[in-house]
Amino acid sequence: MRSMASSISSKGIAAIVGVGPKLGRSIAHKFAHEGYTVAILARDLGRLSRFAEEIAREEKAQVFAIRIDCSDSRSVKEAFEGVLSLGFVEVLVYNAYQPVPWRPTNFTDIPLDSFYKSLAVSSIGAFLCAQQVLPGMVERRRGTILFTGCAASLNGIAGFTELCCGKFALRALCQCLAREFQPLGVHVAHVIIDGIIGPSRGLTVTQRGLVGEQQQSGRAEEGSTMMDPDSLAQTYWHLHVQDRTGWTQEIDLRPSPSRFY
């Protein structure tokens, strides 16, 4: 766990689970910019620590990097012992997912352990993380939990059984938690990302190139219909600060087709 500043924010902790070079990092940047102490969690602690240093430096914020394996209940418990030791977790963003091949996989060729892993990361990990933070939110009658979904959350897709089953379960979890905990002051929402997320427009040319190298080939051309993660992060922030008289439970985000530009 890395500390990058001198004192914990009075606003509470924003815990971002599943922080990679695009959306997770942009969400962490946004909440740090708004004055939150941020805990960023993912499996690759080395890369995560570099993100923590970058965010802390640029946003003048307190940032902690904590390793987590969302498919392992013991890892989730240990990670959140660290997060909760920082103070009250006011915001949980669950952005973790298990990468799957971009090309369709025949159903009969899907290994059972691969199917289990996708379910574990997409939905069971979300269940475990939410269990860690909800008691504190209910006690204070405030808090926000945001789950990241995708087009596979809504429709079964031939050849993508692992992804769809995990994301369907995540959406169901979100709806159950919203109905149980929103009357207790906790805002729970599901964000459907229906598109390909590209590098942040806020990155330097060199940084954009490095992120672009990590993209799966053959999906989309940069600058066509890719979604800017910084813009998406603005929506996560908007959901968090919504007035409780008009809370959003689910929102879908997609890029405007390039032919309309």
pLDDT on residue 214:
39
36 located within any domain: yes
Which pair of tokens denotes residue 199? 């590098």
37 pLDDT exceeds 70?
Answer: yes
Q: Which residue is associated with the tokens 């190139």?
A: 209
Please give the structure tokens belonging to residue 245.
Answer: 């008289």
Per-residue pLDDT, 208: 40
Note the pLDDT of residue 205: 38
Q: What is the mean pLDDT of the chain?
A: 88
Pair of tokens at residue 216: 């799966």
Q: What is the CATH number of the domain that holds 196?
A: 3.40.50.720
Residue 18 CA to residue 1 CA, distance in Å, equals: 16
Calpha distance 68→214 (Å, rounded): 21
User: φ and ψ at 195, to 5 degrees?
Assistant: 165, 180
pLDDT in tens, 144-180: 999 999 999 999 999 999 999 999 999 999 999 999 9
Q: Residue 211 pLDDT > 80, yes or no?
A: no
Question: pLDDT tens digit string along 222-249?
Answer: 445 799 999 999 999 999 999 999 999 9
5: in domain = no
* pTM check: above 0.85: yes
Share of the chain above pLDDT 70, in %: 86
Q: What whole-number distance in Å separates Cα of residue 18 and Cα of residue 25?
A: 9
Count of domains for the chain = 1
* Distance of alpha carbon 199 from alpha carbon 22, whole angstroms: 6
pLDDT band at 258 (very low <50, low <70, confident <90, very high): low
pLDDT for 200: 78
Cβ atoms 164, 156 nearer than 8 A: yes
Give me the pLDDT at residue 225, please: 75
* Distance (Å, whole) CA 32 – CA 231: 15
pLDDT at 222: 41
Is 68 inside a domain boundary? yes
Per the DSSP assignment, residues forming a β-bridge with 65 are 40
Q: How many CA atoms lie within 13 A of 254 on its CB side?
A: 7
Could you give the percent of the chain with pLDDT greater than 90? 79
The per-residue pLDDT for range 55-104, each reduced to its tens digit, is 999 999 999 999 999 999 999 999 999 999 999 999 999 999 888 777 89
In a domain, 7, yes or no: no
Phi and psi torsions of 190, nearest 5°:
-115, 125
Strand partners, 192: 149, 252
Mean pLDDT within 185-206: 82
Q: Is the pLDDT of residue 213 over 50?
A: no
User: Residue 3: inside a domain, yes or no?
Assistant: no
Q: Is 39 helix (H, G, I), strand (E, B) or coil?
A: strand
Question: Where on the phi/psi map is residue 39: left (φ > 0), alpha (ψ -120 to 50), or beta?
Answer: beta
Predicted local distance difference test score (pLDDT) of residue 10: 65
> What are the backbone angles phi and psi of residue 187, rounded to the nearest 5°?
-85, 120
Residue type, 249: Q
Please count the helices (runs of H) and the strands (runs of E) in the chain.
8, 7
The answer to whether residue 161 sits within a structural domain is: yes
Q: How many CA atoms lie within 13 A of 119 on its CB side?
A: 9
Q: What share of the chain is helix, strand, coil (3-state, %, to 5)?
A: 50, 15, 35
Owning domain of residue 30: 13-255
1 lies in a domain?
no
Instruction: Say if residue 79 is exposed, middle or buried (CB neighbours under 10 Å; 0-12, 13-18, 19+).
Output: buried
- Looking at per-residue pLDDT, the higher value among 109 and 256 belongs to 109
